[in-house]
Amino acid sequence: MITMKILTVGGGAREHTIVKALHHGGAEIYAVMGNKNPGIARLSKEFLLEKGTNIDDVVDWAVDKKVALAVVGPEAPLGKGIVDELEKKGIKCASPNKNAAQIEISKEFMRNIMQKYDLPGKVDYQVFDDIEEIEDFLTHYEGELAVKPVGLTGGKGVKIMGEHLENKEEVIDYCHKVLENKIGGSSKLILEERLKGEEFTLQVFTDGENLIPMPLVQDHKRLFEGDEGPNTGGMGSYSQADGLLPFVDSKTYDESVSIIKETLRALKKEGVTYKGVLYGQFMLTKKGPKIIEYNCRWGDPEAMNVLPLLENNYVEICKNIAQGDISDLEVSFEKKSSVCKYIVPEGYGIDPVSGAELEIDEDAIESEGAQLFYASVDEKDGKIYTTTSRSLAVCGYSEKLEEAESASERALSHVKGDKVHMRHDIGKPESIERKLKHMQEIKGD
Ligand code: AMP
């Protein structure tokens, strides 16, 4: 077999997971990352320290290295059209082009498509660019709202009435701030109905026509235990061996798959063929699953729950996606539960302590039935230090959720460092119980 040269873009734990799976599938890795990820660096034939959004430099390097295929991790280079430029040079991509990436990059585009085709899972919304129109709208609006900048904000620009915003005055103040400071890149925002329920993630492989759904995952965005504190990029996540979640049955799973299927069909009608991994963030409400947002790539941390359990060769899947036909693929995942926990610098999201040393016993982590995924760390003289972003994730896998959770905890004990923070509650029975109870309350409302 000829070894396939694959370009990967991105240097987080999600990309470490992608690189592990591609490397395991026999690929020769050429990695581009902004900051040196020790895990990716180790598995790469060569790597380039460069931002993925510096598209010209990345494409030149990929051409020079004669890579045959590319897999792009983060949304920013996808939104800037890295796939279009790579494909112009004859490099096939298992990720969406610029038009397709709009499903994440522009919340307005996404909501408009769902509205135009009257898709299941859509929510009521309105787009604004004028504060007076917002004030007028609010005088007549009865319910609670979510305020969302139209563009990318790393999950930190959304504010919810009843959670972050007390009343209509605070909504108006925040809207003013978004429009004035162009939060998310433009003077535009969406007001949409506030959804109540439990969130979950469904990721699919797709060629734009066919889709292969993966096991569900539940992420934990809040910084502190008990789902308190500010939203983060994600503090950890869990999945169940049967592919469902304690509060999601197979009927809801099927409904969620068909929402994504209908969305892909609508995109096709708009002349957009989406290929890659499509990530649906759902809220399970009293009225069934609704789309909170779509992402045009793997989730972080959700990739760590699911991708290591893939039983197929990931290189083969990427080849099929890039060629635009996955109809012949039969994909399966090991029937295991998983619990992923992030270690972040103390003060993460508020006033993070960077430069704190982490001592990591990788062999001990593996021996616990867990895996380690590096995210944003600095490596100096063989030692690892925190930066201001999430440092690393450990993920435990086992048939039983409780066992996967204890594996993740044992793995955490092999990472030593002061000045770090993590959430121990993720995947624990009490935490699951709380989510189940919450869902019952929502349904019984
Ligand atoms: P997003 O950037 O759209 O994923 O939003 C970030 C977070 O805000 C989501 O994970 C939800 O927890 C919350 N959120 C977004 N939209 C809504 C909504 N319409 N109702 C309630 N919560 C929402």
User: pLDDT tens-digit profile of 255-284?
Assistant: 999 999 999 999 999 999 999 999 999 999
Alpha carbon nearest to ligand 1 atom 16, residue:
292
Total-model pTM? 0.97
pLDDT tens readout for residues 395-420:
999 999 999 999 999 999 999 998 99
Distance, CA of 41 to CA of 287 (rounded, Å):
46
* Per-residue confidence (pLDDT) for residue 445, from 0 to 100: 62
pLDDT tier for residue 154 given thresholds of 50, 70 and 90 = confident
What are the residues facing 146 on neighbouring strands? 160, 192
- State in Å: Cα 358 to ligand 1 middle: 33
Residue 231 pLDDT exceeds 90: no
Distance, CA of 349 to CA of 257 (rounded, Å):
33
Place of tokens 């790469």: 44
Residue 95 pLDDT exceeds 70: yes
Q: Which whole number is the average pLDDT over 354-366?
A: 96
Q: Which whole number is the average pLDDT over 91-114?
A: 97
* Per-residue confidence (pLDDT) for residue 120, from 0 to 100: 96
Alpha carbon nearest to ligand 1 atom 9, residue:
292
Percent of the chain residues past pLDDT 90, beyond the cut: 93
pLDDT tens readout for residues 364-401:
999 999 999 999 999 999 999 999 999 999 999 999 99
State the chain's mean pLDDT as an integer: 96
Question: Does the beta carbon of 160 lie inside 6 Å of ligand 1?
Answer: yes
* Per-residue confidence (pLDDT) for residue 418, from 0 to 100: 87
Alpha carbon nearest to ligand 1 atom 11, residue:
292
- State in Å: Cα 192 to ligand 1 middle: 10
Percent of the chain residues past pLDDT 70, beyond the cut: 99
Residue 79 pLDDT exceeds 80: yes
Buried (b) or exposed (e) across 419-436, using 16+ Cβ within 10 A? ebbbbebbbbeebbeebe
Question: Does the beta carbon of 192 lie inside 6 Å of ligand 1?
Answer: yes
Question: Does the beta carbon of 195 lie inside 6 Å of ligand 1?
Answer: yes
How far is the CA of 362 from the CAs of 359, 365, 380, 393, in angstroms? 10, 5, 17, 12
* Per-residue confidence (pLDDT) for residue 153, from 0 to 100: 85
In terms of C-beta distances under 8 Å and separation of at least 24 residues, what long-range contacts does 56-65 make, across chains too?
56/85, 58/7, 58/9, 58/32, 58/82, 59/85, 59/86, 59/89, 59/91, 61/30, 61/32, 62/7, 62/30, 62/32, 62/86, 62/89, 62/91, 63/89, 63/91, 65/5, 65/7, 65/30
- State in Å: Cα 158 to ligand 1 middle: 6
- State in Å: Cα 292 to ligand 1 middle: 6
* Per-residue confidence (pLDDT) for residue 2, from 0 to 100: 66
Question: Does the beta carbon of 155 lie inside 6 Å of ligand 1?
Answer: yes
Residue 436 pLDDT exceeds 90: yes
- State in Å: Cα 331 to ligand 1 middle: 30
Q: What residue type is 141 in one-letter code?
A: Y
Distance, CA of 71 to CA of 5 (rounded, Å):
11
Question: Does the beta carbon of 146 lie inside 6 Å of ligand 1?
Answer: yes
Question: Does the beta carbon of 420 lie inside 6 Å of ligand 1?
Answer: no
Q: Which atom of ligand 1 sits closest to the CA of residue 196?
A: 21
Alpha carbon nearest to ligand 1 atom 15, residue:
292
What are the residues facing 28 on neighbouring strands? 5
Question: Does the beta carbon of 221 lie inside 6 Å of ligand 1?
Answer: yes
Residue 145 pLDDT exceeds 80: yes
* Per-residue confidence (pLDDT) for residue 234, from 0 to 100: 94
The highest-confidence range among 136-150, 198-212, 219-233, by mean pLDDT, is: 198-212
Pocket test residue of 292, 294, 435 for ligand 1, highest count of atoms within 8 A of CB: 292
Q: Which atom of ligand 1 sits closest to the CA of residue 195?
A: 20
pLDDT tier for residue 172 given thresholds of 50, 70 and 90 = very high
Q: Which atom of ligand 1 sits closest to the CA of residue 155?
A: 2
* Per-residue confidence (pLDDT) for residue 1, from 0 to 100: 60
Pocket test residue of 114, 144, 160, 279 for ligand 1, highest count of atoms within 8 A of CB: 160
* Per-residue confidence (pLDDT) for residue 110, from 0 to 100: 97
- State in Å: Cα 235 to ligand 1 middle: 16
Residue 125 pLDDT exceeds 80: yes
Distance, CA of 79 to CA of 284 (rounded, Å):
28
Distance, CA of 279 to CA of 402 (rounded, Å):
26
Q: Which whole number is the average pLDDT over 100-107?
A: 96
pLDDT tens readout for residues 105-117:
999 999 999 999 9
* Per-residue confidence (pLDDT) for residue 151, from 0 to 100: 87
